[in-house]
Amino acid sequence: MEAAAARALQLGVSSVAFTDHVDWTLRNMHGAGARKGDRASVVDDVFVVEPLDVEGYLECLQRCRDRFPGLRILSGVELGEPHLHPAATARLLAGGDFDRVLGSVHTLPDLAGQGGWVEVGVAYRQRPALDVVREYLRAATELAASNAPFTVLAHLDFPLRRREHWRKPPFDWLMVEDETRAVLDALAGSGRALEVNTRMHFPVTLLKWWHEAGGEAVAFGSDAHEPGRVAHEFALAAELVEASGFHAGNRLDDLWGRA
C-alpha cells in the first residue's frame, strides 16, 4: 500500500482509495487452482478467500496517510456479490467505516451438478462464451437492483478479461445491448456510480449507454493489485469519460458527475 501511494504521488494523482477484496461466495474450482497473488487458499477444490484483516488494513492506511500527507487516501473495500451475503456484509461494514464501497460480481452458477458457484473463468468451460457474458450481466443487474450497501459497481466488463478471444477483434457490446442496458438502468435507478475500470480498455459504448440511462456518476478504478499499475491509463479514460458527458467534481476525491 505504501508503494502504491508513493506511485500515485509520483504520477501526480491527488487522491486514491484502497479497495481490497472481500469475497464470501465459495467457488468450486474444478481443478483450476488459485492464481498467483490470490489472497486465498484452495481447500478440497473450493476457493476460499482469506477474510480481510480490517484492523491491519486500517493501520496500514493510517501509516500511508502519515507518510504521504499530500495525497488524499480514502478507505474502501470491494465486496463480491454482497447481495448474496447480507449478514456478513453488514458485519464487515459496521466494523470498518469505509469511504468507498464497491460491489462486484466474480462468480456464476456452477453447472456441474452439485450447485454452488464458479469463478467466471471456470464458467467459460461450462457454457457457450456469449452465454457467460449474458449471465454475468444478468447477475450484475440483480446486484444493481438490490439494496446491498455499496455505492460503485465495479468492472462491468469483467467477463471479457477471462476470455482471450474477446480481445481481438474487440467484443461487440451490441450483441448484449439489452442485457447491458438493463444493468445500467437498474444502477442509475439506484443512484449508484459506474466504475470505469482500466484493467482493459473500458468500452466507450458502456459510457454512452450509462449517460443515456441517466447515470449520475462515474468512478475510476485501475484495479491495480500492484503499485506499478496504479492509475493505469487514467488519462485516456478521463478523456473518454469527458467525451461521454461527465466531468470532474469539485473536490479531489469526488466521483465524476454529469456535465
Q: Which stretch binds Zn ion (CB under 5 A): 40-48, 102-110, 231-239, 243-251?
A: 102-110
Query: Is residue 222 within the footprint of Zn ion (CB under 5 A)?
Result: no
**In sequence order, what are the residues at sequence separation of 6 or more whose Cβ sits closer than 8 angstroms to the Cβ of residue 8?**
16, 71, 230, 231
Q: Which stretch binds Zn ion (CB under 5 A): 7-15, 96-104, 138-146, 185-193?
A: 96-104
Q: Which of 104/151 has CB closer to Zn ion?
A: 104
Q: Which of 38/55 has CB closer to Zn ion?
A: 38
**In sequence order, what are the residues at sequence separation of 6 or more whose Cβ sits closer than 8 angstroms to the Cβ of residue 16?**
4, 5, 8, 71, 72, 73, 74, 230, 231
Helix (H, G, I), strand (E, B) or coil at 47: strand
Q: Which of 28/104 has CB closer to Zn ion?
A: 104
Smallest separation (angstroms) from Zn ion to the CB of 221: 9
The bridge status of strand 46-49 relative to strand 40-43 is: antiparallel
CB atoms within 10 A of CB 180: 25
Residue with cell 459510457: 207
Q: Which of 5/102 has CB closer to Zn ion?
A: 102
User: Considering CB under 5 A, how many residues would be counted as binding Zn ion?
Assistant: 1
Query: Is residue 107 within the footprint of Zn ion (CB under 5 A)?
Result: no
Query: Is residue 197 within the footprint of Zn ion (CB under 5 A)?
Result: no
Query: Is residue 104 within the footprint of Zn ion (CB under 5 A)?
Result: yes
Smallest separation (angstroms) from Zn ion to the CB of 155: 5
Smallest separation (angstroms) from Zn ion to the CB of 161: 10
Helix or strand run (H / E) with residue 75: strand 72-80
75 to each of 8, 102, 240, how far by Cα in Å? 15, 11, 26
Q: Which of 104/244 has CB closer to Zn ion?
A: 104
Task: Using CB positions, name the residue nearest to Zn ion.
Answer: 104
Measure the CA–CA gap between 245 and 203, rounded to whole angstroms. 15
Judged by the rule CB under 5 A, the positions of this chain that interact with Zn ion are 104
